[in-house]
A = this chain, B = another copy of it.
Amino acid sequence: MSNAMFDVIKGDLEQLEEQLIEAVSSPEDDLVTEVGTHLVTSGGKRIRPALCLLAAHGGASFSLARTLPLATALELIHTASLVHDDVIDKADTRRGAPTANAKWDNKIAILAGDYIFARAFRLVAENSYGDHVANRLAQLVGNLSVGEIIQDKQMYKAERDEKDYYDRIQKKTADFLEICCELGALVGGMEPQEAKCLAEYGHCIGMAFQITDDLLDILETSEQIGKPAGNDIRQGIVTLPVLRALSVSPAHDELLAIVTDPGMTDEMAARALAIVRATDGADFAKAKADAYLARAKEVLPAALSAEIRDAYVQVADFIGQRDF
């Protein structure tokens, strides 16, 4: 993520990096520190803590010292969740760096994920954010897991409609970005009505973020995204462009047969990708993402300072032209 859009919180994000490393450092064991440091310094975009910090800046009683531990906890939860995802997916690299399961092993990766989740909850308790914040974060972690279990069950299934898709990406991505805005606003002392609007902003960019991510899997070449194009199709994950293609393609039956076949070969996946690309599936998804981004900008609270508002608009624009 281009850091330009975060100029207004550049100093904050530098301190965040320090707090992340401090949080994962164990006084008791060097290996724990080594694994944790590798994980938090392997190139995250920090979009979640940035949303939290921007929201806090928009409140009447902003304090960086008060906000940073929360922003750190949010990034730790994201990190822990990715560590476990990589074990599950047997992934070797993430963002160009080796995953914990590849660099060490599944045991270390699973335990390091648990450790990092626990560190997030400890930061929240140590800094006395109160039960509401702790409860929201625990709900978030629970929902991330449930969302993945639901995605797993829906693999190679195509009878579900758009609503199921939106429910799933909300759990997977949008709820998280919403909570970052919501809790940042709360800790910064933003008026409840404004905080609510900002939470909706978070929801909308989260939905757009995941739709765009799913879209790239269809649109881009393998080189551009660093994994095979059509990877989602290949793994049995039916995304919005595919759902659209299923309803409009003349090759509907062939596409349905492929995406619901757990025995799908690479060739079949490539054929499905070609069928989807021959429809307006990608344009349809892009239009949905754009609508979410337009809505996100619309609901930004009027009371935000120009600086903070600009940063939020830039985040939305960035997601729309996402090319990472």
Could you list which residues of chain A lie within 8 angstroms of chain B, going by C-beta atoms? 26, 28-29, 31-32, 35, 81, 84, 87-88, 106-108, 110-115, 117-119, 121-122, 124-126, 128-132, 134-135, 137-142, 144-146, 148-150, 152-153
Inter-chain contacts of A142 with B (CB < 8 A):
115, 118-119, 122
C-alpha gap A152/B150 in the complex (Å): 33
Given A110-B87, A125-B131: A138 and B118 interface contact (C-beta under 8 Å)? yes
Inter-chain contacts of A81 with B (CB < 8 A):
114
Tell me whether B117 and A141 are in contact (CB under 8 A): yes
C-alpha gap A153/B26 in the complex (Å): 15
Given A88-B110, A114-B84, A114-B141: A135 and B126 interface contact (C-beta under 8 Å)? yes
Query: Lowest 7 A-B CB distances belong to which pairs?
Result: A125-B135, A122-B138, A118-B141, A118-B142, A115-B145, A125-B134, A121-B138
Main SS of the interface on chain A?
helix
CB distance from A26 to the nearest CB of B (A): 6
C-alpha gap A13/B130 in the complex (Å): 29
C-alpha gap A29/B146 in the complex (Å): 7
C-alpha gap A106/B90 in the complex (Å): 11
CB distance from A149 to the nearest CB of B (A): 5
